[in-house]
Amino acid sequence: MRCPFCQSLNTHVKDSRPAEDNAVIRRRRVCGDCGGRFTTFERVQLRELTVVKRDGKRQAFDRDKLSRSVRIAARKRPLADEQLERLVSGIVRQLESTGETDVQSDQIGLLVMDALKGLDDVAYVRFASVYKDFREARDFEEFVEELANSSGVTAKRVDQAE
């Protein structure tokens, strides 16, 4: 963190503690060059994320859509609703914590694959194979949308991955 007094980057955290009923972390900082002291606050920001598709089109991030595509990949697998919701929440948190409001649709696909990999091999292979299959040729967001709409053709494609 840059010193607000002398603009030096040589600053250090002296003390961190929660504030506002743990919604905030308050940090006391000191500048190693001018000795200036200042305070910063760290708080959760639930971002309005925007998905940037491969063709550059932008669209508001839709958690439900993500959730539906994960559920389709996990169809008939021994995974509880709660596990899947935790997985989706984890992905959303990761996206929020990049510090960017724009996320690439590819990035979401990779995070889903990563998360499913640790949870269920079959669901992972289903998702990964369709993801990779469509990777070059198609817009992944559109594909996820189709998955969510669950047309018969797409469902067959998903099942072939088993």
Instruction: Kindly list the residues in this chain that would bind Zn ion in the complex (CB under 5 A).
Output: 3, 5-6, 8, 31, 33-34, 36
Contact 139, 105 (CB under 8 A): yes
Nearest-approach distance from CB 74 to Zn ion, in angstroms: 53
Contact 53, 141 (CB under 8 A): yes
Q: Which is nearer to Zn ion, 12 or 57 (CB)?
A: 12
Nearest-approach distance from CB 36 to Zn ion, in angstroms: 4
Q: Where are the beta strands (DSSP E) in the chain?
A: 11-19, 24-31, 37-43, 50-52, 58-60, 102-104
DSSP secondary structure letter of residue 35: -
Nearest-approach distance from CB 29 to Zn ion, in angstroms: 10
Q: Which is nearer to Zn ion, 37 or 57 (CB)?
A: 37
Nearest-approach distance from CB 9 to Zn ion, in angstroms: 9
Q: Which is nearer to Zn ion, 11 or 105 (CB)?
A: 11
Nearest to 73 by CA among 146, 128, 1, 11: 128
Q: Which is nearer to Zn ion, 32 or 90 (CB)?
A: 32
Contact 148, 68 (CB under 8 A): yes
